[in-house]
């Protein structure tokens, strides 16, 4: 029976069992689609990255599977995979190109930090009542209207799209009691992956903002630390001219504390393409047995 190395790598952190866990299968050449899907189900991380040889000028081909199917791109799984490749000595510091379902993307390795570019698909204000959004999040509408005059509700994309919801204080963010059915309905209506809420009221003095991201429409009630959403919010902050239109060269978004999986995403959004980055650490390494592919046996009773 075929066996493959399989890992769980925690992204956007340097501490195991924190940040956002991703499956990584570093030698996926020859695996059938159904085998990759089965391995992703077995690892049961929100996303698993499968690395194989690439054609042309790319260093690797990466495919991403959730426990329910393939997706085109995942930020934290890319950071996890890049970090493992660097630690294993397969990639040196510098800029590398990897092939994904959305085309070639560049990743930069720099002394333990992995950065990746994200394509900004636009930022647009949305006409939603604050009462409806507050009800979905389970918070007082005043926590949104207090800050809404300067920072509007908006749909922002960096590959996947998100509804960006600014909130006045950390206490409001921590006290949310989300209605996941309502959030799923909003996500479907706006054609977004989920809702990213944030406040400039942070736990760490070095952080720019504190975020939470809810995505029940794609099977994730709350994501610990979300790379693509951080890129979208970086583009949003630039578009709405936060910080008087002068974004810091690098922003730090903290997330995951209310799931006991704290992490930090480094975001550069002064110009396009927006980049996100962070560190990662391997939490679990082993092998997975891969049965042969073929039609499942059908039992008739």
| Both tokens assigned to 7 | 């890992």
Phi-psi region of 142 (alpha: psi -120 to 50; beta: other; left: phi over 0): alpha
30 contact partners, CB below 8 Å, separation of at least 6: none
Given 47, 117, 222, 239, which residue is catalytic?
A: 47
123 contact partners, CB below 8 Å, separation of at least 6: 154, 155, 156, 157, 232, 235, 236, 239, 240
| Both tokens assigned to 259 | 């799931």
Measured over the CA atoms of residue 16, residue 17, residue 20 and residue 25, the dihedral's sign is positive
* CA gap 12, 19 in Å, rounded: 5
Q: Is 47 a catalytic residue?
A: yes
Q: Which residues are catalytic?
A: 47
């Amino acid at each position: 029976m075929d066996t493959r190395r399989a890992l769980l790598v925690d992204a956007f952190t340097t501490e195991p069992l924190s940040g956002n866990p991703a499956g990584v299968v570093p030698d996926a050449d020859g695996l059938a689609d159904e085998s990759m899907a089965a391995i992703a189900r077995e690892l049961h991380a929100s996303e698993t990255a499968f690395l194989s040889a690439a054609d042309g000028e790319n260093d690797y081909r990466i495919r991403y599977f959730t426990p329910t199917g393939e997706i085109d791109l995942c930020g934290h799984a890319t950071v996890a995979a890049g970090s493992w490749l660097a630690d294993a000595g397969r990639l040196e510091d510098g800029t590398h190109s990897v092939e994904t379902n959305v085309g070639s993307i560049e990743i930069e390795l720099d002394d333990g930090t992995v950065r990746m570019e994200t394509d900004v698909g636009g930022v647009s204000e949305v006409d939603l009542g604050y009462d409806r959004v507050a009800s979905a999040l389970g918070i007082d509408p005043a926590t949104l209207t207090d800050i809404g005059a300067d920072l509007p509700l908006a749909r922002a994309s960096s590959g996947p799209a998100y509804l960006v919801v600014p909130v006045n204080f950390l206490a409001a963010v921590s006290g949310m009691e989300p209605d996941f059915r309502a959030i799923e309905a909003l996500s479907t209506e706006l054609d977004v992956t989920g809702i990213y809420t944030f406040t400039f009221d942070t736990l760490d003095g070095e952080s720019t903002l504190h975020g939470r991201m809810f995505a029940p429409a794609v099977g994730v009630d709350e994501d610990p630390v979300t790379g693509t959403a951080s890129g979208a919010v970086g583009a949003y902050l630039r578009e709405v001219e936060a910080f008087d239109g002068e974004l810091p060269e690098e922003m730090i978004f903290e997330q995951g504390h209310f799931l006991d999986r704290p992490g930090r995403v480094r975001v550069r959004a002064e110009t396009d393409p927006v980049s996100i980055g962070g560190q990662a650490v391997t939490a679990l390494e082993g092998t997975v047995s891969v049965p042969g592919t073929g039609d499942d046996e059908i039992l008739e009773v």
